[in-house]
Copies of this chain bind each other. A is one copy, B any other.
């Protein structure tokens, strides 16, 4: 009954097989191998574009590399107030961009509100030297709270950003989960909707360690390479990431894994809602289910072996009136490795708790 996080799951068998397959023989280090190039081309096919791909060790590294690429002195990257970059990266984007800042923008359901964005942009038009200046924006797809931006929602934000000439980054740590939810192509969700860079994460969805910044403007690659190296993020045996990506993208494995995770989340949401013991905080659109649960129940559940975490109430979010004060907000995450049996066990335990 492990719903702690999708990074508590290990690697899928296909990923391990790929590593074993590519372990022998010599190959150029630091991203110059044939396998690296093959993975780059495969990712380009997926995104229907000739892209630059920089493998990095973590999602934080990918996001920080994007922030660094768009940073200028006095620069501010706008992101959702509760985004991973602002709340979960311990200052990495700021440090690795050589002194940049992040500023939070409000919005419910983990999505930047276009009205709030417009207000922030207006405040900085013209930019005021003493405050600093917006130099880019980052949005998260799927969001930190398990919701998914629709294409038109992305476009509304990137249109606003474009009026201030701000490049836009997408934190796609759970990009696959958004793809399968929306039934759109990677291109439609990114560059066709005004996105300039994507942190294209695979680790949370069946790989050991496979993160990449995908850049749609290849002229930025050289700068990005210096930034990656200077951050200590350039793998020597880079083909081990390439091998994971190739296996992950082969025959739509990545979509199958994400589809499974999403359907498990949907099933989990359905089952536990029925129990009457929890209340969904908002609709589950990807692989995270957020619920209000009695603190006491949660304690019992965890004692009984269920794994999941409490979550901070998002700013501006008010629990519905029928949620007692004795309830807390909790996050349950599914992954490629979640089984129906686990959901069954969890649901039964909940009914008994």
Seen from chain A, the residues whose Cβ lies within 8 Å of a Cβ on chain B are 2, 4-5, 7-13, 15-17, 19-20, 22-30, 56-61, 64, 68, 72-75, 87-92, 94-101, 123, 129-133, 203-204, 208-209, 223, 225-227, 229-237, 239-240, 307, 312, 337
Closest 4 CB pairs of A and B: A98-B98, A57-B57, A61-B232, A74-B226
The number of times this chain is found in the oligomer is 4
Residue of B nearest to A225 (CB): B129
Residue of B nearest to A7 (CB): B236
| Complex alpha-carbon distance, A15 and B22, angstroms | 12
Residues in B whose Cβ lies below 8 Å from that of A233: 57-58, 61, 232-233
> Contacting A90 at CB < 8 Å: which of B64, B68, B97, B226?
B226
Whether A19 contacts B208 by the Cβ 8 Å rule is yes
User: Smallest Cβ distance from A339 to chain B, in angstroms?
Assistant: 11
User: Smallest Cβ distance from A310 to chain B, in angstroms?
Assistant: 12
> Contacting A99 at CB < 8 Å: which of B98, B130, B337?
B98
Whether A230 contacts B74 by the Cβ 8 Å rule is yes
Residues in B whose Cβ lies below 8 Å from that of A94: 94, 99, 101
Residue of B nearest to A93 (CB): B232
Q: List 13 A-B contacts (CB under 8 A).
A: A8-B26, A8-B29, A9-B26, A10-B25, A58-B234, A74-B91, A87-B130, A90-B226, A91-B99, A95-B95, A101-B101, A203-B237, A231-B232
Residues in B whose Cβ lies below 8 Å from that of A26: 2, 4, 8-10, 307, 337
Whether A226 contacts B73 by the Cβ 8 Å rule is yes
Residue of B nearest to A11 (CB): B23
> Contacting A59 at CB < 8 Å: which of B87, B133, B227, B236?
B236
